[in-house]
Amino acid sequence: MVDFNKPKSVIIAGVGGQGAITVAQLVLSAAWKSGYYVLQSEVHGMSQRGGEVNAQIIFDKVPVTSPVVTQGEADLLIGIEPLETLRYLSQMSKDANIIASSEPVINMDNYPKIEIILEKIKSVEGAVLIDTLKAAKELNNKHAGNICILGAASKFLPIDNEVWEAVIRERFESKGEEVVMSNIKAFQYGKKFTEA
C-alpha cells in the first residue's frame, strides 16, 4: 500500500508549551515500533518562552542518516497551531497532506486575523482543518486536540492502529487508565476527519 521509493517525512509545528514535541515523540515511537529506521530532529531554542517549535521525522525501510527534511519535499504536516501551519507550508512537497488545528495561540501583538489564516490553509490542496476546540468540548477533554489531530494524520502514515494505541498507552500510562482511554478515544475521534 505504501510507496517507499523514498523515505517518509513528517513535520510537526506548534508553539512552545503546546505539546508539539510530545506529538513528535508519539510519531517517532510508532514508526520505530513498526520496524522502520527513523530519525527525528527538534528545534526548541527558547520555545519554553512561547516561541515556535518544530520537529521533523524521517523514516524508511532502509537506514536513515539525515534527521532534516529537504525543504519543499516533506510528505505530511501536523500543524497544531494555524499560524505555525502556514509558516511550514513552504517545507511541503506537491502531494503532501496537511492536518491543521483551527485553534490559534495568540501570544503576539501582530497576530493576523484568524479568519484570513484559516481561509489560506483551506485553499491549500491536501489540507484538512480540524476544529480542536469543538473536539475538546465533544470529548469533554480539554487536552484532546493534539491527539485528535494525530488521529486524523495517521491515515497518511503506514502504521497500524494497534501500534498507535500502544504508544499512546505507553506515553500516558503514568497518568492512569482514564487518561490513557480518553487519549485513545481522542485518537479514534480524529481518525474520522480523514476517513474516505
Which residue in 18, 20, 23, 52 binds other proteins (CB under 8 A)? Answer: 52
Query: Which of 69-77's residues contact partners 24+ apart within 8 Å by CB, and which partners?
Result: 69/9, 69/11, 73/9, 74/9, 74/10, 74/11, 75/8, 75/9, 75/10, 75/156, 76/8, 76/9, 76/10, 76/11, 76/153, 76/156, 76/157, 77/10, 77/11, 77/13
Which residue in 2, 10, 11, 29 binds other proteins (CB under 8 A)? Answer: 29
Residue 103 engages other proteins in binding (rule: CB under 8 A): no
Q: Within a 10 A sphere around the Cβ of 109, how many other Cβ atoms?
A: 5
Of 17, 91, 92, 11, nearest to 56 by C-alpha is 11
Q: Which of residues 115-144 bind other proteins (CB under 8 A)?
A: 120, 123-126
Comparing CB distances to other proteins, the nearer of 51 and 194 is 51
Which range touches other proteins (CB under 8 A), out of 55-63, 138-146, 158-166, 167-175?
55-63
Smallest distance, Å, CB 130 to other proteins? 19
Distance CA 137, CA 159 (A): 28
Q: Within a 10 A sphere around the Cβ of 3, how many other Cβ atoms?
A: 7
Radius of gyration of the chain (CA): 16
Which residue in 10, 12, 20, 39 binds other proteins (CB under 8 A)? Answer: 39
Q: Which of residues 62-91 bind other proteins (CB under 8 A)?
A: 62, 64-73, 83-84, 86-87, 89-90
Smallest distance, Å, CB 190 to other proteins? 22
Smallest distance, Å, CB 94 to other proteins? 4
Of 137, 148, 25, nearest to 10 by C-alpha is 25
Smallest distance, Å, CB 21 to other proteins? 10
Smallest distance, Å, CB 82 to other proteins? 11
* 192 burial level (CB within 10 Å; 0-12, 13-18, 19+): exposed
Residue 22 engages other proteins in binding (rule: CB under 8 A): no
Give the residues lining the site for other proteins (CB under 8 A).
5-7, 15-16, 25, 28-29, 32-33, 35-52, 58, 60, 62, 64-73, 83-84, 86-87, 89-90, 92-94, 96, 107-108, 110-112, 120, 123-126
